[in-house]
Structure 1
Amino acid sequence: MRPAVSVVIPTYNRNELLTRAIESVLSQEFDDFEVLVIDGARSNSTRELVRSYGDGRIRYIPQQGKGIANARNVGVLKARGKFIAFLDDDDHWRENKLERQLELFKELPKEYGLIYTAFTYYYLERNKILGIKHPRASGNVYRYMLKDNITGTSTIMVKRECFKKAGLFRESFPTCEDWDMWLRMSKICLFGAIDEPLVDYSIHSGQFSFAKYLAGRYRMIEEHGDIKHDPRVLSYHLLQIGLLKVFGGDRSGAKDILEAFRLNPSMRGNLADVLGSFLDVRTKIYILKFLGRL
């Protein structure tokens, strides 16, 4: 029989963290699932780790080391469940995560194809919660996704059939491939939201590349016409990028800020959103990382 949920876990030589992730799945109150461990390192130690559980629900799948977008795509294509849930190898689920999402899917109309949840930012080195990211919207979230990635990939459960309409993760993105995916997904289905932190999103050293993040942001602008050709939305992106650059010590951020004001001199519809985004715990953590304080 096919499982109800396929859990896709990409990994690359992080067995200690992977163990934590797998065990958070095995501890779920709902147990009709399969776990697909997509190993980009093709490591014997990771293969043996998966085998050591002796659990037929866990499948080890070697990958050619083509990045996380490709790993997720391999998982989507090999998944057998009606629903697909994603879990990065350094993140952790609360024990009722799958159950809560499946219950909500039963209550929602069929137009809802994806459910995401609140999550904590968990600082691994200090065993400390830095803050909680709450859902900003539900239903038709497209206009919110145009400006910010309001989701967290490790929180998401999505109907497998939705990928047939939205396509797969775009492997050419340097970063923000998840934002790109969920933005495209928000065009073809409604999103449900659970305002309870059911995932611990891990913060740790060596995790974040400012240059790659910026490259991903610029790629989002280029690939999405509703960003690139809407002065207000484009202005929002450039203002946020410019401010992040300035905080990171990159003076070229001033050009982005000036272009943002040229596109939208009054900042109508943007200034409050940008200020709100800088008060958001996610942006605070990014800034701390840029400054080398995390």
Structure 2
Amino acid sequence: MTTTISVVIPARNRAAVIGRAIACANNQTFLPIEIIVVDDGSDDNGATVAAAQAAQGDAVPIRVIPLDTRAGAPNARNVGAAAATGEWIALLDSDDGWDETKLASLIPLIDDDVVAVFSDTVFLDGLGGSTRKFGPTAENPEELLYENTLGGCSAAMIRRQTFVDIGGFDITLPSCQDWDMWLKLQQAGRIALCHEPLTQYYFDAGDRISRNPRSVVEGHEVLYARILSDYAPAERVADIRRFQPFHLAQTLAYFTGVRKGTFRAAIRNPVRPHPRTTRRSAIHLLATSWGLTRA
């Protein structure tokens, strides 16, 4: 039986880059059965651009679902997933991209007990140059209790029925909606990993939730508490709790550029280092918190 895949692209004010995302989905060596663009109450003409792409008559049908009121990317993903007809949902943020072999490379990893498949991500600057690579490292399920070891949404392909069964993305979270989803998926079945850099994360599209310090802090605090109460085995709670301040400090310093509030966690770790941190990472965070080096 042929695997059927629906691509879901949430978009808000992405007229300048939405065409790139759609082209990535349209140029796959294994074609999806549909591309669903959910426009999250954009102020620009992003939905019009997406509709124009659909009118070009490419190989993959494109549907544009406009939302009158902005409700956030997690809600837009849920709307797109609800409209999808494919057996699998491949998530693609409107400012990200894929290698043309992305879907073809994930399909062989699907098995009856697999509920999601993730690829590696390559981070690109505005000129397309590679800056670094992130590989999913959650072969050990406990890794995901400490930090998001699977990456962002564009790396994920999720079984649609599982997505429905676990309730989709939690739209009440100010941030960390992806990490929360991966934890739920891990409870639902097996997550397969593809260690090829097939997802492209660009830094040329403006605001992201991950760059809003207040949302980052609030989302992490809620999810940290949820991990301790709902997911962590009793014998790991104390260790996970001790790592969380250092993890939040790293996230603030490196993803939002905010140093305020990170110094205490940075100085505490070298005094009482957590096993998940290295001397180098502790010193770098301390230097970043002091403003001696850039994130």
The TM-score normalised by the length of structure 2 is 0.81
Alignment of 1:235-254 (within 5 A): 235-242=242-249, 250-253=259-262
Paired residue for 1:45? 48
Contact 1:69 1:170 in 2 (8 A): yes
Check if 1:219 corresponds to 2:222: yes
Q: Percent identity?
A: 25
The letter for the 2-side match of 1:143 is E
Shift, 1:121, TM fit: 0.6
Shift, 1:164, TM fit: 3.5
Paired residue for 1:103? 108
- The change in CA–CA distance for 1:82 and 1:113 in structure 2 (over 3 A counts) is same
CA distance in 2, matches of 1:12, 1:246: 26
Paired residue for 2:22? 22
Moved over 4 A (4+): 243-251, 254-258, 276-279, 290-294
Shift, 1:266, TM fit: 5.7
Shift, 1:251, TM fit: 4.8
Give CA-to-partner distance per residue, 1:153-206, whole Å, 9 cap, x none: 101111111124322101011111111111111111111111110011112354
CA distance in 1, matches of 2:56, 2:280: 42
- The change in CA–CA distance for 1:70 and 1:276 in structure 2 (over 3 A counts) is farther
The letter for the 1-side match of 2:202 is S
- The change in CA–CA distance for 1:153 and 1:115 in structure 2 (over 3 A counts) is same
CA distance in 2, matches of 1:275, 1:83: 38
Paired residue for 1:36? 36
Give CA-to-partner distance per residue, 1:37-86, whole Å, 9 cap, x none: 00012556245434433346111111231101100110111111000100
CA distance in 2, matches of 1:161, 1:26: 24
Check if 1:75 corresponds to 2:91: no
The secondary structure found in structure 2 opposite 1:16 is coil
**Aligned residue-pair number:** 274
The TM-score normalised by the length of structure 1 is 0.81
The letter for the 1-side match of 2:64 is Y
Alignment of 1:1-294 (within 5 A): 4-41=4-41, 43=45, 45-46=48-49, 48-55=51-58, 57-63=61-67, 64-105=69-110, 108=111, 110-124=112-126, 126-138=127-139, 141-151=140-150, 152-204=152-204, 205-207=206-208, 208-224=211-227, 225=229, 226=231, 230-242=237-249, 250-253=259-262, 270-271=274-275, 273-275=276-278, 278=281
- The change in CA–CA distance for 1:4 and 1:246 in structure 2 (over 3 A counts) is closer
The secondary structure found in structure 2 opposite 1:232 is helix
CA distance in 2, matches of 1:130, 1:182: 25
CA distance in 1, matches of 2:248, 2:99: 33
- The change in CA–CA distance for 1:278 and 1:123 in structure 2 (over 3 A counts) is farther
CA distance in 2, matches of 1:255, 1:293: 18
